[in-house]
Amino acid sequence: MAHLHLENIGPVRFVDLYLKRFNVFIGPQSSGKSTIAKILSFCSWIEKRVATTLSENIFTKNKDFVDTVETYHKMKGYFHADSVVLYHSDVVSIEYVEEKLSVKLLNKEIYHRKKIVYMPSDRNLVAMPELEKLILANHTNMQSFTFDWLNARTTFDKEHKLNLLNLGMQYYFDSQEQTYKDKIVHTNGESYDIALYNASSGLQSITPIVLMFNYYTGLYFKEYERFTSFEKQLEQQRLLARIANLYPDMVDAKKNEDENSLYAAKIAETVIEATKIRNLANREKLYKQLTTPDAVNVIIEEPEQNLFPEAQESLLYWMIQKIKNKDRDNSIVITTHSPYILFALNNCLIGGLVGNKLPNQQELQSHDAWVNPKDVAVFEIHDGTLKSVQDEDYLLDNNYLNRAYQKISKEYLTMLDYYGE
């Protein structure tokens, strides 16, 4: 588990947490949920960059760290002289304290490459026509998200439409269309066939989520090799050289004329040859491990945007199901202020505890999303600080949204006493 510690960054005053496979941050608007998610995403990218290049020289100056995260995640003005970022995992140590940066690679052999997908709250912009012709001047999370969207959407053409959960809708990419390439059609194939740009805000919000999850938890791993560039090839060549230095072959033993020395030299040559074979295998294993992704880390802001409560529930179950793939070490970070997302998540947690005792398990909508509650971390942020909202069984306990619901209900019941008098 990675450890993240933040102080005095935007609305965040003090945050200290250990990350798990499923992580959820809740709280009011502008409370710091997205700030935490963005810093976490950035630190995950640094960890990936350091580990997959075997180089700690990511930033040439201390200020480059802040300049990059402020530009990429649109956080200008969030950092101050007393801002602190500490990120520690088994792979790297990242420390930004008193405007000084320290990045250390702790272990060169255990990292497995991950695809990091950041889904910003303004993801609806992908519905814009001729999106590929837009020039995004700065390297931002929206630009990266757009590139990921453009890479993924071509997979779902007229012959391979994408079902949008249980909404009775499908998406497909029309390469022959000049302007409106992203299409939405009813599954009955009769009602309409319209541009995503002209669809409802709910469809514009959920379509990129479903498409990106579908692609980057599945087909992406088979197609990864088709994404190549000159820069990527150069980077891989440098990586091969660094890996070779990790597993150097032994120097040939010197042969002497006497029989004992010749015998010893023969043994040494055998050891050397065995070492070469073993080191070659180690080099090949590490190279594949660092260059070929085998999991995805998704960070998504407010998946509930513009969605009806039932759709929010279905989406949460579906996302959890995609992430919990037993063959891949996938992970997810969600920011939300939706009670329906939390209520659905709690069903996933309690299902992980008692699901095997229930009759007719398959009939429950949450069934495929049941998870071990110990793999889930849910935090509430308030007044710039973070606290866990899980009880001793890791189920959701008293939290901001529950308290808001109780307050509204109490006021309603107070007035209900006078109804009909």
Distance of CA 241 to the CA centre of its chain: 29
pLDDT at 253 over 50: no
Model's pTM, two decimal places? 0.88
d(CA 313, CA 307): 10
pLDDT for the residue 34: 94
| Per-residue pLDDT tens digits for 266-315 | 555 665 666 667 778 888 899 999 999 999 999 999 999 999 999 999 99
CA atoms within 13 A on the CB side of 83: 20
Instruction: Give tens-digit pLDDT for 375-414.
Output: 999 999 988 999 999 989 888 887 766 777 788 788 788 8
Write out pLDDT tens, residues 49-106: 999 999 999 898 889 999 999 999 999 999 999 999 999 999 999 999 999 999 999 9
The reply to whether CATH 3.40.720 applies to domain 3-112+297-416 is no
Residue-wise pLDDT tens digits, 334-379: 999 998 999 999 999 999 998 888 888 878 899 999 999 999 999 9
Sorted by where each begins, the domain ranges of the chain are 3-112+297-416, 130-225, 230-291
At 117 the pLDDT is: 96
Query: pLDDT tens digits for 36-50?
Result: 999 999 999 999 999
